[in-house]
Amino acid sequence: MRILVIGGGGREHALCWSLRRSPRVTDLLCAPGNAGIASLASCLPVDQTSVPDMLRVTAETSPDLVVIGPEVPLAAGIVDALQAQGTRVFGPTEAAAQLESSKAFSKAFMQRNGIATARYELCSTMAQVQAALPRFTAPVVVKADGLAAGKGVIIASTLAEAEAAAHDLLQLGGTPDSTIVLEEFLDGEELSFFALCDGTTAVSIAAAQDHKRLLDNDQGPNTGGMGAYSTDDLLPDALRDQLLRDVAQRTVDGMRAEGTPFHGILFCGIMLVPGRGPMAPDPMVLEFNTRWGDPETEAIVLRLKTDMLDLIDASIDGTAAQLHIKLRPDAAACVIAASAGYPNAPRKGDIIRGLDAPPPPGTVVFQAGTSQAGNDIVTAGGRVLAIGAAAPNLPEALDLCYATLRSIRFDGMQYRNDIGARALR
């Protein structure tokens, strides 16, 4: 089969790596891809915000299947456009992708479908914000409605700070109908839960934990994610069953009932809020994403025993209930190497050294923001590399990641030293 993957980050490198292991994949293309993906797939330039341009690349390459990696093409309606011309495609339609692309939509959806989430109010004017804020106690979470690449969430420690943040977001929206969400702050442990959905059924894939802050001990600014790990311990059977029943399946049922069936990856951002009694924590949904996570995917694919293509086929064809997703019981981790200036002003063009040496068994160096410049591979974005490893246990997986990371260097390289540390304590 000839497969076209849309995207060009560490997640898409991991998806291409996983697809390459499928005996059914004969031909792999990626648009736009990156310098690392180029070793696995033919890379083609594309504008991921432009549906016509993505249709052009598809028409020129005639793939049997198109796999959409990032959220921006999903929100732009690439799945609907490809389906309309008879192309087989993995991912949710524009209407189903609203679970991620509009927080106003997803919060209201959760409320009407009985899915536990933080109490919230929507506001479109400062008068509404000023009227609503006294109904909250600090800290208050202020969120932009639409996709914001991780920059649309402010945790305000006072109501005055929340008012200022709301003002900034409403101004940024720039249109009279821009909307923000004011939300109750939830305290607890975060978990990324991934379910495969086929329009009718949700099945569990895996859980992972992301590390959003730039610096060790969760200090510094928020980023797209500085590392992740995935183990079975993160997802005890009882928690998995609860997340599947009360969050993922309820979402799939609701979307189907509302005429917008959900096919693809449902990435549930969960806060495990300590229970009020001696019971296990209450899982509450922070947000939905309608695609694989980055960098969670770079860890999860290293544990996946099931053929990635079988997983994709089940989601498109409505056969997820018959699929037995198998994971290796071991642990996987990934550590991000980010460029100088990330996340505010990532520097491009620094030469990356040490990529030629083959990494130790179990380790894969996924590339994210990289490009080829003559004979060199150089930094070309904020998150540059995702060094992933799988091993029989988390300490060994982390040792492999860090040993490989320390053999790679570029000017201004930033990384966290404490990925997975919370799980080890």
Which residues make up the interface to ligand AMP (CB under 6 A)? 118, 141, 143, 153, 155, 183, 185-186, 190, 212, 269, 286-287
Q: Which is nearer to ligand GLY, 294 or 350 (CB)?
A: 294
Find the shortest distance in angstroms from Cβ 132 to ligand AMP: 15
Instruction: State the binding partner of 118 from ligand AMP, ligand GLY, none, CB within 5 to 8 A by kind.
Output: ligand AMP
Phi-psi sector, 421: left (phi>0), alpha (psi -120 to 50), beta: alpha
Residue 6 CA to residue 369 CA, distance in Å, equals 15
Work out how close the CB of 46 gets to ligand GLY at its nearest, in angstroms, rounded to a whole number.
21
Comparing every residue's Cβ against ligand AMP, the nearest one is 287
Q: Is 296 in the site for ligand GLY (CB under 6 A)?
A: yes
- In the 8-state DSSP scheme, what is residue 109? H
**If residue 84 lies in a helix (H) or strand (E), which one and from where to where?**
helix 78-84
Q: How far apart are CA 90 and CA 5, in angstroms?
A: 10
Nearer to ligand GLY, 94 or 100 (CB): 100
Cβ contact 414:384 at 8 Å: no
Using CB under 6 A as the binding rule, whether residue 330 contacts ligand GLY is answered as no
Based on the shown chain and the rule CB under 6 A, indicate whether residue 346 belongs to the binding site for ligand GLY. no
3-state secondary structure of 310: helix
Query: How many Cβ atoms sit within 10 Å of the Cβ of residue 305?
Result: 10
Site for ligand GLY in 213-232 (CB under 6 A): 225
| Other residues' Cβ atoms within 10 Å of the Cβ of residue 36 | 26
Helical packing angle, 103-112 and 250-257, nearest 10°: 100
Stretch binding ligand GLY (CB under 6 A), from 80-88, 288-296, 313-321, 402-410 = 288-296
Contact assessment for residue 272 and residue 187, using Cβ atoms and an 8 Å cutoff: no
Residue 289 touches ligand GLY, criterion: CB under 6 A: yes
What size, in residues, is the chain? Answer: 425
Q: Which does 293 bind (CB under 5 to 8 A by kind): ligand GLY, ligand AMP, none?
A: ligand GLY
Which two three-digit tokens encode residue 238?
A: 């009882």
Cα separation, 224 vs 393, in Å, equals 26
Is residue 298 close enough to count as binding ligand GLY by CB under 6 A? no
> Shortest distance, CB of residue 155 to ligand AMP, whole angstroms?
6
The residue (of 293 and 382) whose beta carbon lies closer to ligand GLY is 293
Site for ligand GLY in 357-416 (CB under 6 A): none
- Count CB-CB contacts under 10 A for residue 131: 12
Q: Which does 294 bind (CB under 5 to 8 A by kind): ligand AMP, ligand GLY, none?
A: ligand GLY
> Which residues contact ligand GLY by CB under 6 A?
210, 225, 289, 293-294, 296
